């Protein structure tokens, strides 16, 4: 059996600590060799088998490092990924992939020149509810889709002093949650014809977007994507309506909450969602409904696929083309919100 690939994780904030590190430990084809962070004492206790460095340059100069995972603040994604690719390292970048589509395209060119894998961490392709929605669409259970609504709502009324809520580049919900919703939509329906976006900062003291509502047009199909920091509940995560019926699903995928509780990926019940969706349809003028069991989600599939792709044994699970498509819509959404106009894609 091949030796595991050595991984350097850059950034040990929420994403690095809660999401990436546990998933990397759970992938037998990968070894979390090095973590780049200033939190040395904490890391030595939490990851005794890993090396802790504070200098990215030392990581990039180390021939033993095969893969660099970038989970640092959004405005550092592009320069760190560019430096890693120039050093001949394979690279995974957390979302948002970059701050602009031009940066994403430049990274794609660099990856080709240096013959390195470049992948975006769009882990929510492996959400339980999204996998269920995709299966329903593939099976034709709902017929031709007319309206697709995807929401990612939170209740965080107090603005926090952190870079994700700052006024700088890459802050706000559109850069935080927008990439998830856009990537899932692109996987289901491809590129839309137009985009119309409405952004707002609704909380007292908010300086970055904490609300967005975006409509994508696909001919007859309408897609509505939204997120807010001031919704306590009562709204579905997905509502999909077609010529043969509707599917409504409440609640979020359980994996991130499990990771926050310190549960190990792959433990008993991992990726299970017991809050199942409902399928509604009309027959003889009467409404009928059935429970739709939710498929299991599993973020581990992403890193297993990355390892296989590096070894030439499989495809890149989220190639740069997919990341570029998301960033193009992120930019167009910003332009639409500023102008108040529907814009062609």
How confident is the model over 140-199, as pLDDT tens digits? 999 999 999 999 999 999 998 888 888 878 999 999 999 999 999 999 999 999 999 999
pTM over 0.85: yes
Are 225 and 178 in contact by the 8 Å Cβ rule? The answer is: yes
Q: Running DSSP on this structure, what letter comes out for residue 209? A: -
Are 66 and 5 in contact by the 8 Å Cβ rule? The answer is: yes
Could you give the CA distance from residue 118 to residue 131 in angstroms, rounded to a whole number? Answer: 24
Parse the chain into domains and list their residue ranges.
5-121, 125-298+329-344
* The CATH number, out of the four listed (2.50.20.10, 3.60.70.12, 3.30.360.10, 3.30.470.20), of the domain defined by the range 125-298+329-344: 3.30.360.10
State the chain's mean pLDDT as an integer: 96
**Are 5-121 and 125-298+329-344 in the same CATH fold?**
no
The domain 5-121 belongs to what CATH superfamily? NAD(P)-binding Rossmann-like Domain (3.40.50.720)
pLDDT digits (tens, 9 = 90+) for 190-219: 999 999 999 999 999 999 999 999 999 999
| Helical (H) or strand (E) element with 56 | helix 56-60
Long-range own/partner contacts, residues 288-293 (CB < 8 A, 24 or more apart): 292/132, 292/136, 292/247, 292/249, 293/132
Distances (CA, A) of 5 to 28, 89, 286, 311: 9, 11, 57, 9
Regarding beta strands 90-94 and 67-70, do their DSSP bridges make them parallel or antiparallel, or are they unpaired?
parallel
Could you give the CA distance from residue 51 to residue 43 in angstroms, rounded to a whole number? Answer: 9
Work out the pLDDT band at 1, boundaries 50, 70, 90: low
Q: Running DSSP on this structure, what letter comes out for residue 237? A: S
Are 306 and 119 in contact by the 8 Å Cβ rule? The answer is: yes
Residue 15 has pLDDT above 90, yes or no: yes
Q: What is the largest CA-CA distance in the chain?
A: 70
pLDDT digits (tens, 9 = 90+) for 250-283: 999 999 999 999 999 999 999 999 999 999 999 9
């Amino acid at each position: 059996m091949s030796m595991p690939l050595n991984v350097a994780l850059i950034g040990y904030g929420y994403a690095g600590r809660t999401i990436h590190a546990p998933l990397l430990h759970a992938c037998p084809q990968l070894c979390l060799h090095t973590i780049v962070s200033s939190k040395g004492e904490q890391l030595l206790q939490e990851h005794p088998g890993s090396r802790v460095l504070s200098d990215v340059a030392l990581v990039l100069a180390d021939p033993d490092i095969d893969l660099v995972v970038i989970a640092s603040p959004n405005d550092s994604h592009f320069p760190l990924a560019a430096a890693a690719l120039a050093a001949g390292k394979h690279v995974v970048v957390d979302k948002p992939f970059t701050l602009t589509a031009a940066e994403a395209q430049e990274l794609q060119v660099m990856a080709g020149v240096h013959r390195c894998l470049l992948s975006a961490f769009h882990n929510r392709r492996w959400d339980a509810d999204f996998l269920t929605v995709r299966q329903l669409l593939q099976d034709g259970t709902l017929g031709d889709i007319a309206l697709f609504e995807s929401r990612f709502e939170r209740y965080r009324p107090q603005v926090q002093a952190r870079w994700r809520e700052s006024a700088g580049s890459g802050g706000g919900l559109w850069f935080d949650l927008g990439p998830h919703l856009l990537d899932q939509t692109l996987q289901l329906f491809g590129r839309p014809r137009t985009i119309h976006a409405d952004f707002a900062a609704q909380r007292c003291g908010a300086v970055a977007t904490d609300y967005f509502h975006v409509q994508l047009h696909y001919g007859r199909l309408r897609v509505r994507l939204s997120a807010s920091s001031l919704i306590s509940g009562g709204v579905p995560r997905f509502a999909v309506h077609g010529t043969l019926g509707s599917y409504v699903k409440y609640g979020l995928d359980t994996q991130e909450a499990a990771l926050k509780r310190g549960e190990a990926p792959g433990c008993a019940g991992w990726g299970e969602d017991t809050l199942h969706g409902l399928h509604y349809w009309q027959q003889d003028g009467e409404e009928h409904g059935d429970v739709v069991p939710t498929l299991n989600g599993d973020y581990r599939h992403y890193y297993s696929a990355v390892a296989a792709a590096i070894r030439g044994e499989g495809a890149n699970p989220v190639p740069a083309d997919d990341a570029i498509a998301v960033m193009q819509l992120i930019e167009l959404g910003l332009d639409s919100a500023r102008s108040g106009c529907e814009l062609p894609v």
